[in-house]
Structure 1
Amino acid sequence: MSSDRRIPVALLLLRLSVFLVMLMWTLDKFVNPNHAAAVYQNFYLISGLSNQMFYIIGAIQLIIILGFVAGFQKRWTYWLDRHWIDWGWESRESHESQNQLT
């Protein structure tokens, strides 16, 4: 394989692998919304969301990741996909640092 073909193939594989990870998180909101509620409560410190709210969040997330994997509006879908991931990790890290201080 020529070096001109390697980069597009690598980027496609990267996009597919990120999509698969995000798809599992999205499907969890539909299949087991109680688990999603526990994740939001423990990692994001958000509680009291109904199952219907997780269906809405899951639907929005599904639209975003389908756009991401299809390469649709890359500027926006990449930003939204990255923002969704960062929001979760930042919330968890701030929660852990607060627990270490107390």
Structure 2
Amino acid sequence: MHLSVKIALLAIRVSFGLFLLVWGLNKFVNPEGTSGIFAKFYGIEGLGAASSMIAGGLQVALSVAIILGLFKTITYGAGLAIHAVSTLATASHILLPLAEGSNLLFMAGLPILGAIFGLFVARSDDTLLALDNIRTAKA
């Protein structure tokens, strides 16, 4: 495996982990905003602060595991699933990005989804600074 590919996979892993981390932390800092997002995009009304913080805690834990390259099949797969659901929830903005009331920023979810899919597919090649390699070498 070329070093350039390993560096690219590391960059995707860390940047995606940080992306999820910020959204996870936001669930603690702004539980009301999280409740509004869940209501508007997922149809889940009345998400309480405690539920928001539990979801945030799980997302922060997932983010850290992704950044560290731990349990790659599970964590990368979960991250991919979470982002895929989020992307699908904003499909109207993605399909008609220039329509009245649409938000062009949701288009940024597509290349992120593609990068995460690539990371998941190439997870066995994502070895640079990945703690999974140390964990599996000891097993």
The TM-score by the shorter chain falls in which range?
0.7 to 0.9
Q: Equivalences for 1:35-54 in 2 at 5 Å?
A: 35-54=33-52
CA RMSD of aligned residues (A): 2.1
For structure 1, which runs of at least 5 residues remain unmatched after alignment?
Answer: 98-102
For structure 2, which runs of at least 5 residues remain unmatched after alignment?
Answer: 96-139
Q: Distance in 2 between matches of 1:20 and 1:61?
A: 11
Runs of 4+ displaced beyond 4 Å: none
User: Normalised by the size of structure 1, how large is the TM-score?
Assistant: 0.83
Greater relative CO, 1 or 2 (CA 8 Å, sep 6+): 2
Higher helix share: 1
Q: 1:5 aligns with which of 3, 6, 13?
A: 3
User: Normalised by the size of structure 2, how large is the TM-score?
Assistant: 0.62
Counting aligned pairs with the same residue, the percent is 29
Task: Give 1:21 shift.
Answer: 1.3
Task: Give 1:93 shift.
Answer: 2.4
- Give the AA of the match of 1:18: F
Give the number of aligned pairs: 95
Task: Give 1:42 shift.
Answer: 1.1
